Structure 1
Amino acid sequence: MILRTLLTLGLLAAPAPAATLASAAAERPAIAWQECPAYSDDVLHWMGLDDQRLPEFRKLFGRTECGTLTVPQNYADPGGKQITIALTRLKAADQEHRLGSLAVNPGGPGGSGYLMPIELTMTEAKLNARYDLIGFDPRGVGYSTKVRCAGGKQGPEPAGPVSEELARKVYDQVVKDNQACGQSDPGFIGQLTTANVARDIDRVRAALGESKISFLGVSWGTWLGTVLRSLFPTKVHRMWLDSVALPVPKMDVFTEVRAMATDRDFQRMAKWIADRDDVYGFGTTKAQVVSALTELRKAYDAKPVTFTDIDLTVTGRMIAEAAGQPSPGWPEVAQVLKELVGATGPTAPPTIKRLFGDRPPPTPAGVPERHNQTANGAFFCNEDQGARTFDSAWNAYRERLARYPVTGEATAFFPACAGWPLPVQTTRLRSGGSLVLSGHLHESPSPYEWTLETRKAVGGHVVTVDDDVHGSALRVPGCLAKVVGYFETGRVTATCPGVPVPTSTELPDRAELSMTAPR
C-alpha cells in the first residue's frame, strides 16, 4: 500500500532523461515576479481593516509574492494574442512539511481573489501552515487584463409595482447595452469563460512547478472548481467547494430556484418573528406574519414613502428584499419592518436611519478592484443556456409574484443576458480527483439543491451545513477546522457547524443587513 502510494505521488519514479527535463523546462510557463502594489492606510481602512488589524495585514503582505503570467487570450489559438493573469503567492509557513499549492477563489463571477490568501490567513484558517496559498484575479478582473463596457443601465428602481410597459423598456435597454458590450471587444470579451479561467489556473500550476494543485472556491468559485476538475481531472489534488452553484448555467433556472429558496428561508424568518410577537406585533403564527407582511408590501407599493433626512424611498420591493435576508440580520429586519408599519415620514424611523443614513466614504486612490461588472456579465452570458426572451422572463416573474407574495417582488423581471451577441460556450462536466461539496440547508444565493445536483453530475462528498449564510464554511471556526483538516489529511466529514439563528431580539453593534438602499 505504501509502495503504491509513493508510486502514485511519483516519489519512486525512475529519473527522467535529461532531454525530457530540458524539454519540460522549455515548455514550462514563467511567472514574472514583481514588486507588490503599495496600499495606504486609507485604502486598507476603506477595505474594512481597523487600526488593530493593519499590522497583521502588512506582516502577511510583506511575505506575499506578486506576479503575472502570460496566457493565450484564446486557447484555441495559443500562438495568438496574449493576456496577463495577476497572481499572489503566500508561501507555506512550515516549508519542511509543505503539502503543495492551494488556489483560492471568492466567487463572483468577476470577483478578485488577489488578496484572498491574506484575508483567509487573517481568520481562523490555518491553511497557510502547510500550503502555499495562491490568489489570483481571473481574466477580466482587477490587475489582470480587463476591459470595461457600458451596461447595466436599467433605469431607476420603480417606485411601485413593475408594469409590463416598464418591464419592456428595461428589457429593450438591457438588449441595447448587452449588444454594445459584447461587440465592443468580442475577441477578448468572448473569451471570458469559466473554462478559460480553469485553463489559466492550470497554466499557473505548471508555472509553479506543481504536478497537481488544490483548490478552494466559494459561490461562482464552485462552478470554476467543477470546470477545473472536469478539464484537468489528473491535475487536481484536493478541492473543497462551498455554497455550490448550479451545475448547468441557465440564468432563468438560476432566478427561479433562488426565488424558491428565498421564500423558503423567509418562512423560517416568519416563524421566528411569530415566536416574538410581544416584540414585533405581526402575529403569533407564521401564517399571520406572512399575511401582515404581504399587506405591508402592498401598502408601500401603493404609496411609497420618502424619508428626506436620509435620502431614501421605501417601496414594496424594499419590503421584499428585507424579507429575503439571512438569519444573522433577522433582528434588524424585524425591527425595520415594525418601524415601517404606519410610517409616513418625512423623517426616518431610528433603525432605518441607522442602517441607511450613512453613505459609504469616498473611495481613496489606489483601492484594488474587488469586482468587475463587465466580467460578471460576460462570464454569465457567454455560458447562459437558459431562455432570454421578454415573454419567458415576464411570465415567470408574474407567477413568482403570485407564488411568493412577500419576497417575489425582489426577483428579476427581465433576462439579464437578453441580446448578448456572442455564442454560448459549454463545458462537459466529469468526475476526477478528491472533492468536497459543502451545501447550506437554508440559504438562497446557492440553494442546497444545487449541491446535490452537482454531486450527481461530478461526484464528490457532500457536507451539509445547517444554516442559511452564503459561504459560511470559511467563517465558522468549527467548520473551518474541518476544511483545514481535509486539505491537510484528506479526511472528510458529513456535517459542519453553521451560523446559529439569533435567539435575542437585540440589535447588533454592526449592521448585519446586506441590502442596498434604493436611489
Structure 2
Amino acid sequence: MTTTQAMNPSPARGRPARRRRLVAGITGLASVWGCLIASSPAVAVEEARPRIDWQECPVYSDEVLLARGITENRLPEARAVLERLECGEIDVPLDYEDPHGEQVSVAVTRLPAENQERRLGSLAVNPGGPGGSGFLMPFDLVMRNEASARLDDRYDLIGFDPRGVGYSTTPDCGRPGRGPAAPGPLTETAAREMYDDAAAWNQACGQTDPDFVGALTTENIARDLDRVRRALGERKLSFFGVSWGTRLGVVYRGLFPRGVDRMFLDSVVLPGITWDETSEARAAATERNFARFAEWLAARNAGYGLGTTADEVAATVQDLVRSYDQAPHLYTDIGVYGDGALVARMATRDSREWDRAGQALAELLSTVGAPDGPAPPAVRELAGAGGRAPQVPPGAPEPFNSATQQAIGCNGDPERPAFEETWAAYQERLAENPVTGRSGIFSAGCAGWPLPAQEGELNASRGSLVLSGHRWETAAPYEWTPMTRALVGGRVYTVGDDVHGSALRTEDCAEDVVGYFETGRIDRGCTGSPVP
C-alpha cells in the first residue's frame, strides 16, 4: 500500500449477504451543507462523488501464490507487485432505482501505473464467469508474461469483485447441488431427478433473499463499475474483459458511452443468448473443433494408433464412447469412472493438450473391457480431478461464486423450461454431435427460478471497441463475435486458436492488446496458442 493514503483497519471480508447504509456519510454531508441539503437533498447527495474506502490489503501466503501459478523462483517478484497493490471497497446501491436506500459493498483493487508521468488513465479488468473474482486480476496480468505486464506501464490496473463475489457482498445460497451422474448413458429417470434437484435449488436460492439475489444482474454490475470510475476521479475508463466480462463490457459501454475510453473484449459472449441457445452453440463448436483434432491425430497415427484419416479417428472415438458406456469401470486411484462421457471429454481438449489427450485416447483403446483398477498415466493426468473444482488454499480469495453465476444468468434469461423440453434438447444435442456430444452435461438451466427476468437494454455507441473472437473456440464460439458486432459496433480481431480467453496469454496477441490500449490502433488478428 502507498503511505500517502489514510488507511483504515481492514474489516472482516466476504461476509454472506452483508449490507450497509450510508447513514454516517449522509449525516456528515448534512452537517457541512446544511442549508443546501435542506432545500434540495436529492440533488446534493446525487452529485456527491462516490468514495472508495482504501484499506490494508490482505496478506497472502506462499501457498496461495503458488496456487495462482506463481513459481517459487518468482515469489520475490510477486511480493514486490503485491506491495504496490492498493485495496479498498465502495458502497453501491442495492437497487439503482432507490440510489440512496440500502447499500452493498464492492471490493476494489488498484495497481498504479509504473510510469506516472506518461499515465494514460485507469484500465478496469474482469475475468468473466459470471461469478469470477477480479480482485487479484491486476496482479495476475502483471505476472502472466512480459507483454501482459506492460499494461501496467501507463495504466492504473483496476480489479474488482463484482457484487455477489469474493470480498464483495455475497448471497447466502450455497453451491448448486450438481452431484456426479451415475456412469454410463444418462437415463430419463436420472435426468428427471437431476432436473428436480436443480429446479428446487434454483427456487430456494431465489427466495433466500430476493431483494439481493434479484439485484445480481449484469446491468447493476455495470452501474457499480461506473461508480468505481467516478470514485477514482476518472472522466473515462478503459476496460478489458474475458468471456462474461465481454457481456459486462458491452452493457457498460451501452449505459455509459461517454465514460468509456478503449475497450478490448476477448472470447465474446453473444448478448441476450439464452441458456439453451448457449448449450446448442457450444455443442456444435465442440464437434467442429474435434474435426481438427482428428486430422492432427490421423497425421500422427504411428504414435497414437487411432486411425490414418480423420474419419477413421472419429469412428474409433465413437466406438470407444459406446464401448465404455456399455461397460464403465472405476479408476480406483482417482475415484473416476471410465465411461463414454470420459472418452468424449478426452476428445474435446483444446489444442494445448492434444498430445496428452491423444495418449489418453490411445490408452483407452488399449484397455477396453479392463477390470476396475488404476488409471493409465495420461488418463490419470487429464481426469484426475474428476471434474471437481481445485482446492482453494486457506486465506485465498474466493475464485468463483457459483450461486452468483446462476443468479446473474437466470435474472437475465426469460426461459424457465419444463423437463420435457430440456430432455428433448439434450437428446437432440447427442444426436447432432455423435463424437463429442457425451462430453456435454444435462442441465435444467433456469427451471424453477422464481424471480422475473430483467432483460437489459442493449445500446451501440461510437467509442473505441475491439471484439476478439477465437476461430476454433468452443466456450465462446467464433460466430458470436461478428453477431455481437452487428448489435453494438466495434471491430473484429480474430485469434487463430481454440483457447478460451488467450489474447493476453500468448506473446504475439498480448503485444497487440497492449499496443491497442497505448495507441488505439490494432490489426485484424494474431496466431494465438500454437498447435503442437
Please report the TM-score for the alignment, with normalisation by the length of structure 1. 0.90
Answering whether residue 430 of structure 2 is matched by residue 401 of structure 1, we say yes
Which of the numbers 491, 496, 512 marks the counterpart of 1:461? Answer: 491
Q: Say if 2:94 is the partner of 1:73.
A: yes
Residue type of the alignment partner of 1:349: P
Amino acid paired to 1:239: M
Name the residue aligned to 1:271: 295
Larger deviation, residues 280-289 vs 221-230: 280-289
- Mapped to 2, the partners of 1:342 and 1:480 lie a distance apart of 41
| Aligned position for 1:9 | none
Map of 2:325 onto structure 1: 301
- The amino acid across from 1:443 in the alignment is E
Matched, 1:479 2:502: no
- Asked whether the equivalents of residues 251 and 385 of structure 1 are also in contact (C-alpha less than 8 Å), the reply is no
Query: Counterparts in 2 of 1:359-374, with a 5 A limit?
Result: 363-374=392-403
> 1-side partners of 2:272 and 2:157: how far apart?
29
> Are residues 1:350 and 2:371 paired?
no
Partners of 1:437 and 1:420 in 2: CA distance:
32
Of residues 304, 322, 329, the one that matches 1:280 is 304
Count the aligned residue pairs: 482
User: Residue type of the partner of 1:435?
Assistant: L
Name stretches of at least 5 consecutive residues in structure 1 with no aligned partner: 1-18, 503-519
Aligned pairs (5 A) from 1:195-344 = 195-343=219-367, 344=370
Which residue is equivalent to 2:520?
A: 490
Matches within 5 A, 1:40-189: 40-122=61-143, 123-124=145-146, 125=148, 126-189=150-213
Matched residue SS, 1:333: helix
Counterpart of 2:451, as a letter, is L
Please report how far the alpha carbon of residue 255 of structure 1 lies from its aligned counterpart in structure 2 after TM superposition. Answer: 0.3
Residue 355 (structure 1) shift: 4.0
Unaligned runs of 5+ in 2: 1-35, 37-42
Contact persistence 1:249–1:385 (CA under 8 A): no
Deviation (angstroms), 1:426? 1.1
Q: Which moved more, 1:274-283 or 1:379-388?
A: 379-388
Distance 1:25 1:377, change over 3 A: closer
TM-fit CA distance, 1:23: 6.5
Q: CA deviation at 1:479?
A: 0.9
**CA-CA distance at 1:358 after TM superposition:** 7.5
- Give 1:500's aligned residue: 530
Could you say what secondary structure the match of 1:293 adopts?
Answer: helix
**RMSD of the TM alignment (CA)?**
1.8
- Which amino acid in 1 is paired with 2:215? Q
Following superposition, the deviation at residue 430 of structure 1 comes to: 1.5
Is the Cα contact below 8 Å between 1:273 and 1:280 reproduced in 2? Answer: yes
Q: Assess if the C-alpha contact under 8 Å between 1:197 and 1:224 holds in 2.
A: yes
Deviation at 1:364, TM superposition (A): 3.4
The answer to whether residue 487 in structure 2 is matched with residue 420 in structure 1 is: no
Q: For residue 469 of structure 1, what is the amino acid of its counterpart? A: V
**Post-superposition shift, 1:305?**
1.4
Q: Which shows bigger deviation, 137-146 or 312-321?
A: 312-321
Moved more, 354-363 or 406-415: 354-363
- Identity among equivalent positions (%) equals 53
Match of 1:451 among 469, 481, 501: 481
CA contact (8 A) 2:229 2:236 kept: yes
1:362 to partner: Cα distance: 5.8
Residue 351 of structure 1 deviates from its aligned partner by: 2.0
Mark the CA change 1:453 to 1:480 in structure 2 (over 3 Å): closer, same or farther: same
Report the AA paired with residue 319 of structure 1: V
**Matched AA of 1:38:** V
1:155 CA drift (Å): 3.3
Relative distance call for 1:136 and 1:361 in structure 2 (3 A) is closer
Per the alignment, residue 421 of structure 2 pairs with 392
Q: Is the CA contact (8 Å cut-off) linking 1:31 and 1:207 kept in structure 2?
A: yes
Tell me the distance in 2 between the aligned counterparts of 1:67 and 1:116: 15
